[in-house]
Amino acid sequence: MLGRAQRTKFGAVTVSEDRPVVVRAGPGDAAAIAGIAAEALPEPWSEAGFAEEITLPEARVWLARGSQGGALGYLVAHRVLDELQILSLAVASGQRRRGTASALLERALASEAGLRVVHLEVRSNDAAAQAFYDRVGFRPVGLRRGFYPDGADAVLLARAVSSADAR
């Protein structure tokens, strides 16, 4: 059965039946999140690292699940006063370009009342990630040379948050 196509707040086109369900992650989700990170990122966190992160009071960890309950992607951030620092966002390779990252970001912004700005770093050599963040309103605000273990630079991005994001 085909669902109705819809455009998300951030411009991604999704089919309503395929729209992931985004929930706050719990300690039991650390293995699934670590699996996605291992597949998607050059320097992934460990399962133990995610499990510890989920327990921190400042941590915000969201998990996107598909209609069958499988983990599709995750977003890890820290809330500090009126700012959100995204530490890691990844989507399983077979699920990319289907609105999962947009759904995670939308949920993060909608769940955190009173945000003023969201920050993150992205690899300077990751054109796909930079294009995604540009589409969802992030703008470059700086550069950290040699930030990543392999020597890649980090492009610092920021996005102002409006009251419309809290819907």
pLDDT of 164: 64
pLDDT of 98: 83
Report all structural domains of the chain as residue ranges with CATH numbers, in order of start: 5-166 (3.40.630.30)
Of 29, 25, 5, 30, which Cα lies nearest the Cα of 15? 5
Nearest-10 Cα torsion for 143, 144, 147, 152 = 40
Note the pLDDT tens digit of each residue in 18-45.
678 999 999 999 999 999 999 999 889 9
Q: Are 81 and 58 in contact (CB under 8 A)?
A: no
Q: What's the average model confidence in pLDDT over 64-92?
A: 93
Q: Are 143 and 154 in contact (CB under 8 A)?
A: yes
Tell me what the pLDDT averaged over the chain comes to: 87
pLDDT of 99: 85
Locate 81 and state its tokens.
């006063």
Q: DSSP class of residue 20?
A: P
- Helix (H, G, I), strand (E, B), or coil: what is residue 26? coil
**Percent over 90 (pLDDT), the chain:** 74
Q: Which residue has the tokens 């992934």?
A: 44
Note the pLDDT tens digit of each residue in 7-21.
455 544 444 456 789
